[in-house]
Chains A and B, each alone.
Chain A
């Protein structure tokens, strides 16, 4: 018999070594996440996957599942914490959804809907961040970067290139590109890189394909993220 734990009252089977997130996704139960992508090692930075285990909040993507544990992923308290974290992400960058090409197929936006976040709530920082359109095939809009490091990990661990890194610290933390000019066009980045296909927001976008799918008909316009899951798994249809 396999081992199980309880997630919102439901029995979830798991193998030793699996995280709460791994086991839940395998059982078809959605736990919201942004920096997590099952193809890469757990990261634990966005904190959106926070769940309650015996009165302690842990990130589902990094916490190991254990026999008999009771996990709360849906109470109002947990959803409120997630909402606050999302609101922080929204005021940290410049996320103008109505003017964003990724709207409707953006995981940040979809997770925000999922948690019932209706407004950014906190005071906006309105940082000044550039857009880098130097690459022939891909554009980077740093305004929409949430520092999830998926592109960093994909480029380093999958593409073997180390095109991206995080620089600075605290609120000054920012994504940087490894080239003499700091521009993507001068780096070794290619549109076929894994790193071009993992961004959960509209920060890394292919050129020349904007609005191919009209707004209103996009992935999360049709069904919520809790049903259809990550945008990366639907790349062909949404871009």
Chain B
């Protein structure tokens, strides 16, 4: 926080430019540093960056307004953001938010995009989308650093530390402890150690042989879509271009997913080795690791792994002494935008812009970073690739199903005795996971995150595999004490908040859907509203521009089909209910007239008249 002695905004920006360069594509990285230092992006920084990087001040401001962790106005010296995933709420986060707010002398409740800022500028309290700590929540971020395992006592202590103005470096270390919670190890998690064996094999046997192993393994992407990894690498290798790039997608924004965090903590060497192997296969000299802002606490660790690998000759110039095998990796931070996990939006963000999805095709393999051929893979995919090249394609094929070779790492959270990381062979049924993690009386499982599918108990025999239940790894459990409408409300708000805003169905439809869900939750809905929700959901699914909008209504459509009672029991009445309450609107007039007799009420058109 206070690494820099420079105090003026202009001075700070000049220093950032001097250290990190004047490539306009570094705009976002400069902005993140400014935000971190000043708790907002002052006008002076906008002007200085605009002048130095040949971007308009409007483009700079537009980027600031896009990313949830960048601000036009100052936040508190302690900027606190509670993770607001449904799993945090299930662990009592709402109560803790209220407690902290009360202790800090603030009033109201923070909402998406509305932070509470104390007048003295000491502290602000806001929300963040899932911060990836679901197995040790509730969690929050303070000045970007993750605090886990919140309870009343810890929140109380935080309030004291803030009141006393104790800098973060002197906060109790255990507040920031992040556990791995690895509960079940399989092919990939068995052993984190590597001595560069995959790279040695690549160098000894050549890129063709390495690619052949990846092909033989049948490895498919672990980030959700399941595209065949070898095919992606081959397309990129064969695409015309002057440069090639390798990008590791560590945005891990899908609510309920946290396995990439664990992989980057304990298996970073293997992930980086996988990236380096990919670089050798496709002929890339530069790579990026796009790390979600929520995981910035991992930055020093990751930098040190990169540094050590450079020293060991496993990264940088002349890798393993081989002339012409040069490859290095830069870490770029995200700043609070779920859409930046989508590969083309991620590339926009890497180029310093707002993370808006690109038109596809062309796909990144032919036109990615700097419009050059680019491989984007998930963290877990790179880890698996390293092992595949080291141990051969058959090693992965030995587990899993026909169309889904190998294993899948799951992030298990919600109502169970042992939340954490579980690795299973593909083909494992849902009920097996539930019994292993100690889930009881399970009402529903949300698989593959907010964008995934809501499973009812009748489906717990289904298997985790691309041919049945594809998943990016999120596995959230809801027991029968939960009201699933709370989940729906949380996800609907999440998608409305995270829509990039580019296309009409997702930008407007997502907000309409959220409002209808809230209307039903408030007991003001009718059957008509439910059919409207289906209608809007269908239009979003069919007509949106990218995967975010296509999947955003899944949770509503799934629960309407499988759990209709969560809506039905809230309906005010069967047919239409206006979103405007006429009787309530008259209350002010009643107050003025000093009357409250039946004649001054418009009777609710409840059952008897409708």
**Interface of A toward B, CB cutoff 8 Å:** 42-48, 50, 57, 59, 62, 64, 81, 84-85, 88-89, 91-92, 122-123, 125, 146-147, 162, 164-173, 176-178, 180
- Sample (8) of A-B pairs whose CB atoms are under 8 Å apart: A47-B504, A64-B361, A147-B501, A147-B507, A167-B61, A169-B65, A170-B507, A178-B59
Minimum CB–CB distance from B31 to chain A (whole Å) comes to 14
Q: Which 10 A-B pairs have the closest CB atoms?
A: A173-B501, A88-B508, A167-B62, A178-B58, A170-B499, A168-B65, A165-B58, A171-B511, A57-B542, A167-B65
* Given the contacts A123-B515, A162-B58, A167-B58, A81 and B543 also touching, CB distance less than 8 Å: yes
CA separation between A5 and B81, bound complex, in Å? 53
B507 interface neighbour in A164, A173, A180, Cβ under 8 Å: A173
CA separation between A204 and B57, bound complex, in Å? 22
B505 interface neighbour in A42, A85, A146, A170, Cβ under 8 Å: A85
- Residue of B339, B502, B504, B579 with highest tally of chain A CB at under 10 A: B504
Note all chain B residues with C-beta closer than 8 A to A167: 58, 61-62, 65-66
Number of residues from B at the complex interface, CB < 8 A:
40
Note all chain A residues with C-beta closer than 8 A to B503: 44-47
**Interface of B toward A, CB cutoff 8 Å:** 56-59, 61-62, 65-66, 113, 337, 339, 354, 359, 361, 496-505, 507-512, 515, 532, 535-536, 539, 542-545, 579
Q: B500 and A92: CB pair below 8 A? A: no
Note all chain B residues with C-beta closer than 8 A to A169: 65-66, 337, 339, 354, 499-501
Note all chain B residues with C-beta closer than 8 A to A48: 504
Given contacts A85-B543, A147-B501, A170-B500, 15 further A-B contacts (CB under 8 A): A45-B504, A47-B545, A85-B505, A91-B508, A122-B536, A166-B62, A167-B66, A169-B337, A169-B354, A170-B498, A170-B501, A170-B510, A173-B502, A176-B62, A178-B57
Note all chain A residues with C-beta closer than 8 A to B359: 42-44, 62
Note all chain A residues with C-beta closer than 8 A to B361: 64
CA separation between A81 and B544, bound complex, in Å? 11
Note all chain B residues with C-beta closer than 8 A to A173: 501-502, 507
Measured CB to CB, the nearest residue on chain A to B536 is: A84
Note all chain A residues with C-beta closer than 8 A to B59: 162, 165, 178
CA separation between A92 and B515, bound complex, in Å? 13
A89 interface neighbour in B337, B504, B532, Cβ under 8 Å: B504
Measured CB to CB, the nearest residue on chain B to A162 is: B56
- Residue of A43, A81, A146, A169 with highest tally of chain B CB at under 10 A: A169
Note all chain A residues with C-beta closer than 8 A to B61: 167, 176
CA separation between A50 and B359, bound complex, in Å? 15
Measured CB to CB, the nearest residue on chain B to A92 is: B508
CA separation between A74 and B126, bound complex, in Å? 47
Q: A171 and B544: CB pair below 8 A? A: no
Measured CB to CB, the nearest residue on chain A to B72 is: A167
Note all chain A residues with C-beta closer than 8 A to B508: 88-89, 91-92, 171
A170 interface neighbour in B56, B57, B497, Cβ under 8 Å: B497
Q: B510 and A165: CB pair below 8 A? A: no
Note all chain A residues with C-beta closer than 8 A to B507: 92, 147, 170-171, 173
Note all chain B residues with C-beta closer than 8 A to A64: 361
Note all chain A residues with C-beta closer than 8 A to B545: 44-45, 47, 59
Minimum CB–CB distance from B389 to chain A (whole Å) comes to 35
B539 interface neighbour in A43, A46, A81, Cβ under 8 Å: A81
- Residue of A43, A167, A172 with highest tally of chain B CB at under 10 A: A167
Note all chain A residues with C-beta closer than 8 A to B504: 45-48, 85, 88-89, 92, 146
Minimum CB–CB distance from A102 to chain B (whole Å) comes to 19
Note all chain A residues with C-beta closer than 8 A to B535: 84
Minimum CB–CB distance from B179 to chain A (whole Å) comes to 33
Minimum CB–CB distance from B366 to chain A (whole Å) comes to 14
CA separation between A189 and B234, bound complex, in Å? 47
Measured CB to CB, the nearest residue on chain A to B112 is: A170
Note all chain B residues with C-beta closer than 8 A to A50: 542-543
Q: A171 and B499: CB pair below 8 A? A: yes
Minimum CB–CB distance from B573 to chain A (whole Å) comes to 18
Q: B56 and A178: CB pair below 8 A? A: yes
Q: A168 and B501: CB pair below 8 A? A: yes
Measured CB to CB, the nearest residue on chain A to B542 is: A57
Note all chain A residues with C-beta closer than 8 A to B499: 169-171
Q: A123 and B579: CB pair below 8 A? A: yes
CA separation between A97 and B332, bound complex, in Å? 47
Q: B512 and A168: CB pair below 8 A? A: no
Minimum CB–CB distance from A81 to chain B (whole Å) comes to 5
CA separation between A178 and B50, bound complex, in Å? 11
Note all chain A residues with C-beta closer than 8 A to B58: 162, 164-165, 167, 176-178
Q: A125 and B543: CB pair below 8 A? A: no
Note all chain A residues with C-beta closer than 8 A to B56: 162, 165, 178
Measured CB to CB, the nearest residue on chain B to A164 is: B58
* Given the contacts A45-B545, A47-B544, A123-B579, A165 and B501 also touching, CB distance less than 8 Å: no
CA separation between A178 and B60, bound complex, in Å? 10
Measured CB to CB, the nearest residue on chain A to B545 is: A44
Minimum CB–CB distance from B174 to chain A (whole Å) comes to 36
Note all chain B residues with C-beta closer than 8 A to A176: 58, 61-62
CA separation between A193 and B115, bound complex, in Å? 40
CA separation between A125 and B539, bound complex, in Å? 19
CA separation between A43 and B502, bound complex, in Å? 10
A171 interface neighbour in B57, B62, B354, B501, Cβ under 8 Å: B501
Note all chain A residues with C-beta closer than 8 A to B532: 122
Note all chain A residues with C-beta closer than 8 A to B501: 147, 166, 168-173
CA separation between A46 and B506, bound complex, in Å? 10
Q: B543 and A47: CB pair below 8 A? A: yes
CA separation between A137 and B43, bound complex, in Å? 29
CA separation between A42 and B360, bound complex, in Å? 11
CA separation between A177 and B58, bound complex, in Å? 7
Q: A172 and B505: CB pair below 8 A? A: no
Note all chain B residues with C-beta closer than 8 A to A177: 58
Note all chain B residues with C-beta closer than 8 A to A46: 503-504
Note all chain B residues with C-beta closer than 8 A to A123: 512, 515, 579
CA separation between A89 and B543, bound complex, in Å? 14
CA separation between A183 and B498, bound complex, in Å? 28
Measured CB to CB, the nearest residue on chain B to A176 is: B58
